[in-house]
Amino acid sequence: MTQQEFETTAKELRPLMYDVGLRYFHSQDDAEDVAQESLLLLWRICEKMDASRNIKALAIKVAKNCCVSMKRKKALKLTAGSNENGAECHIPSSDFDRLEAEECDALLEDMMQRRLTPRERELFELRRLDGFSNEEIEVRTGVKRTTVQSMVSKARTKLYLELKRRMNL
């Protein structure tokens, strides 16, 4: 699908995705966010789309997945707090706990920077830190579900081995 075709199709699909978000959240702002995020995800995979696929059904499915992801992120922020990476963390009860949590976050970030490839890091963050399912990551990135599963597992193993090495276990 070319950019011109996508722009034309997007004008038709946007109201559908907006309606999905509005029915899910009962909020115009959130519905607008769903429509925007859905269009962005569709844009990322538009080169792989062709006219033979039911693009409306795909757009609605992507919008529903966006709704679930947004709700999940809101729930994480409300219940557990989050660090700057969006990772779920407990709320520290003392200065010592807060310092320890910051050190753990810094250690994880350093290990991810040093040991993971950019693609492994992206998929690991989407799966483990942002809480997306393999199917959602497939839609978002265009990477096949089985490849996502394999790369996340490989990233987790690399981080585990690095942590084990640093702790002399």
AA identity, residue 134: N
Q: Which pLDDT does position 110 carry in this prediction?
A: 80
Backbone angles phi, psi at 88, to 5 degrees: -70, 140
pTM (whole model) above 0.85: no
Task: Check if the beta carbon of residue 20 is closer than 8 Å to that of residue 63.
Answer: yes
Range list of H helices, the chain: 3-25, 28-45, 55-79, 95-115, 118-124, 134-141, 145-166
Answer positive or negative: Cα dihedral of 55, 61, 65, 70.
Answer: positive
Instruction: Please give the average pLDDT of every successive group of 10 residues along the chain, which has 169 residues.
Output: 82 93 90 90 79 81 89 68 48 63 76 87 84 87 91 88 76
Gap between the Cα atoms of 134 and 61, Å rounded: 15
**From the centroid of its chain, how far is CA 86?**
10
Gap between the Cα atoms of 108 and 110, Å rounded: 5
Give the single-character DSSP code of 132.
-
For 64-89, b/e burial (b = at least 16 CB within 10 A) is: bbbbebbeeeeebeeeeeeeeeebbe
Q: Which pLDDT does position 9 carry in this prediction?
A: 87
Q: Which pLDDT does position 88 carry in this prediction?
A: 47
Total residue count of the chain as it appears in this document = 169
The domain defined by 1-79 carries CATH number 1.10.760? no
Beta bridge partners of 82: 88
Gap between the Cα atoms of 75 and 45, Å rounded: 28
Residues of the chain with CATH 1.10.10.10: 90-169
CATH of domain 90-169: 1.10.10.10
Residues of the chain with CATH 1.10.1740: 1-79
Task: Check if the beta carbon of residue 141 is closer than 8 Å to that of residue 126.
Answer: yes
Task: Check if the beta carbon of residue 90 is closer than 8 Å to that of residue 101.
Answer: yes
